[in-house]
Structure 1
Amino acid sequence: MKFVRLGEVGAEQPAVIVEDAAGAERYYSLLALTSDIDGAFLAADGVARTSAALKTGSLPELDGAAELRVGAPVARPGAVICIGMNYAAHAAESGAAPPEIPVVFLKPSNTVVGPNDAAPIPPSSAKYDWEVELGIVIGKTASYLPSVEAAREYVAGFVAANDLSEREYQLPGAAGQWTKGKSLPASTPLGPWLVPAADVVEGNLRLRTWINDELRQDSTTADLIFDVATVVHHLSQYMLLEPGDVILTGTPEGVALSGRFPYIQPGDVVEVEIEGLGRQRQEFFRAGTASTTAGASA
């Protein structure tokens, strides 16, 4: 199963994609079960209820669904929590030692957009960077979890993400603050799908990024310093994790910050893909100083 939200910004409808016996994808509406794919749906055992409904044939098929805009697969999360420097090779290319404990920061949830929405480069940005990342979606309220093993039960599923980052704002320079560099409008494309945890072997997924069809990042989650369960357990010791929250687990080597590649420019096309979780495509443009960000979504 692949959970997806389809339709125009602010009017997305929940759906699930499954393959039929011939391998063709079929889209089914979830409106009989929920008004949206959000924390309340996940906390109410939405994944299992969807599976049961599919088995009984009680979900109507969505005609023309493949032609609709794809929104972020989770309606505006309560929190977007990020792990920095979680691949040793990326830490090295950033000039940092691999961390001994997870590096944690937050992104505003209003940065979340659909996977293929037009992508604004901030008006004064000179160092806008890409970061393909495995995203964890929380399915149950988690606080002070007793063990790493217990943490696995709190993961509803996984998404692909692009953690767009303005390095001049983030690192020492004109601003030099992580929050400023990570909070820009439309800087967290998610999706296209939310895939249930039971359907994903997250320990060795291939992650890739292309800039104008040229491969920049190519790694696997086997190189994570802190794996999924460790991250969820660690975060639960410091904050309340709620259903629908998204945790971005860090990016592998191959970003522009390495000095090996130019930063994103207007007209560039960035594509990120995670094995089994789908592919994104963003076309970048220079945002005007008084414009409203195009494509922003819940």
Structure 2
Amino acid sequence: MSRVAYVNGQYQPHGQAVIHVEDRGFQFADGVYEVWSVFDGRMADFDGHMTRLHRSLNELRIDIPMTRESLTQVLKETIRRNRVRNGIVYLQVTRGTARRDHPFPAEGTPPSVIVTARSISADRSEATAKKGVAVVTVPDIRWGRCDIKTVGLLANVLAKQQARERGAYEAWMVDEMGLVTEGSSTNAWIVDENGKLRTRDTQANILKGITRTALMDLIAEEGVELDERPFSVDEAKRAKEAFFTAAGAFVMPAVSIDGVKIGDGKPGPITTRLRTLYLDQARRDAI
């Protein structure tokens, strides 16, 4: 079956779906996005992603393109038309189409809305998580408002490419003080050498990950102590466990950083337990 995309009010064959050459998302990366995991045809962490979408739009002063109910229906219909049982649905909203000029276009210019969906093998994801993955570190060269989920992802693309070229799954970005900020498309966590669960706080211009937030709620319910505090690359390499969170990766064990084995080089018990807890809840609460 051919894939289907939603573009500005129309469902179109994926290979024929296009936007205008002067869409500001293409010209200026002037837009935002969200991505939902799909379990059994239903979206996980729905409210968290929708809330962050509205925050990102408001921060960039882009008009909300349609009601929450209408957008929900578009997302669900795109999933249905693509027959996605397990995978992701991706939404992009840009400031719309206007003559190329740096200032915002005239008031009333309608935003562009694009939705796509695709299947991902759940078995393959589980096999990867059981083995664990490698992480490398790279300098963080992104702009200063990484708390907004914009489509301006060039620095992230370069970081992810470095990871692939170095035989790793993900890149963790490092600031000028040697502290890990976040991954190219994930939030970074460790169980430090003292056994404490740590992740960087979101006041430091990093993205407030929805999977991160959902996992933090589960951690609180489990009564596990969490330290929201930056950690250095050296601390990460000395950690007992390391992992990262994202809508597509869920809770993914990292078993090496820059070639240094973490713990015994296998997914640790805390990471494995947290992945199970998250997946159980995500499947249960998906809409």
TM-score in terms of structure 1 length: 0.25
TM-score in terms of structure 2 length: 0.26
Greater helix content: 2
